[in-house]
């Protein structure tokens, strides 16, 4: 079976043809500086099983390992930041779940290889929690979740503050997309142009990066 195509019906219904690794790598090489920056945020609005996000995470984790491997706590902190920077949406639930699982395994393999039996359950739980939140089973066209009770897609922005704390601010995806296009302003600019700065729909007190799953347990 061609691993880039699951069924011809899914190709017809959802355009599901996954991108082969050599193309993923070549495309990410075009933005290599960003893909290597631990906290640069990537959103893939039709993420499939995560081919692009997995490669970005591998690149970021290599940087984390190079810089911080001598301190396990530093490695954990920045590995969690790397995971928190990745966002995906897929309309097919099995793809969203496979994407989360593949990202988790990418993190877990790197983490376990470095620290073996010194690895922490709390760190794995933070990563699992972030992937549950950041990888959304949703429709990137309607900008809503998919299911019995569709809701606007809301993404959490995670920023490291005061050393080990993560500050979460939630943003409604439709506001970011619509406001930016209505005002014809870019969301990002390296050239010093005016950019659209969205307003969060909710802010949370900072939480230790190893306590995310516990602090937001009611969402899981």
Ligand X SMILES: C[S@@+](CC[C@H](N)C(=O)[O-])C[C@H]1O[C@@H](n2cnc3c(N)ncnc32)[C@H](O)[C@@H]1O
Nearer to ligand X, 96 or 207 (CB): 96
Site size toward ligand X (CB under 6 A) is 20
For residue 148, report the phi and psi dihedrals to the nearest 5 degrees: -65, -35
Q: Exposed/middle/buried for 191, CB within 10 Å: 0-12, 13-18, 19+?
A: exposed
89 is a contact residue toward ligand X (CB under 6 A): yes
217 is a contact residue toward ligand X (CB under 6 A): no
58 is a contact residue toward ligand X (CB under 6 A): no
Would you call 171 helix, strand, or coil by DSSP?
Answer: strand
Distance of CA 134 to the CA centre of its chain: 5
Could you give the string, one character per residue 31-50, with x where binding to ligand X holds by CB under 6 A and - elsewhere? -------------x-xxx--
Question: Considering only residues 31, 109, 141, 220, which one is a binding residue for ligand X as defined by CB under 6 A?
Answer: 141
Question: Considering only residues 17, 32, 113, 217, which one is a binding residue for ligand X as defined by CB under 6 A?
Answer: 17
Give the closest residue to 39 by CA, choosing from 71, 86, 88: 86
Give the separation between CA 65 and CA 82, rounded to whole angstroms: 12
Give the separation between CA 16 and CA 3, rounded to whole angstroms: 11
Q: In angstroms, what is the minimal distance from the CB of 97 to ligand X?
A: 12
Name 139's Cβ contacts closer than 8 Å, sequence gap at least 6: 89, 91, 145, 146, 150
Nearer to ligand X, 139 or 170 (CB): 139
Nearer to ligand X, 74 or 175 (CB): 175
Binding residues (CB under 6 A) for ligand X: these are: 14-19, 44, 46-48, 51-52, 89-92, 95, 139-141
């Amino acid at each position: 079976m061609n691993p880039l195509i699951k069924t011809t019906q899914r190709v017809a219904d959802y355009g599901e043809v996954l991108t082969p690794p050599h193309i993923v790598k070549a495309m990410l090489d075009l933005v290599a500086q960003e893909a290597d920056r631990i906290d640069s945020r990537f959103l893939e609005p039709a993420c499939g099983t995560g081919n692009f996000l997995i490669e970005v995470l591998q690149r970021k984790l290599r940087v984390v390992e190079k810089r911080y491997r001598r301190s396990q706590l530093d490695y954990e902190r920045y590995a969690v930041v790397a995971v928190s920077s990745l966002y995906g949406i897929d309309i097919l639930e099995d793809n969203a779940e496979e994407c989360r699982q593949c990202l988790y395994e990418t993190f877990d393999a790197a983490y376990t290889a470095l620290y073996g039996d010194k690895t922490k359950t709390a760190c794995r739980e933070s990563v699992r929690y972030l992937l549950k939140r950041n990888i959304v089973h949703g429709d990137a066209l309607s900008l809503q979740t998919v299911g019995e009770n569709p809701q606007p897609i809301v993404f959490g922005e995670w920023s490291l503050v005061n050393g080990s704390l993560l500050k979460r601010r939630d943003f409604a995806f439709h506001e970011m997309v619509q406001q930016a296009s209505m005002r014809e302003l870019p969301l990002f600019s390296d050239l010093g142009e005016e950019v659209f700065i969205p307003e969060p729909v909710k802010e949370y007190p900072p939480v230790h990066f190893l306590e995310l799953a516990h602090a937001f347990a009611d969402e899981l």
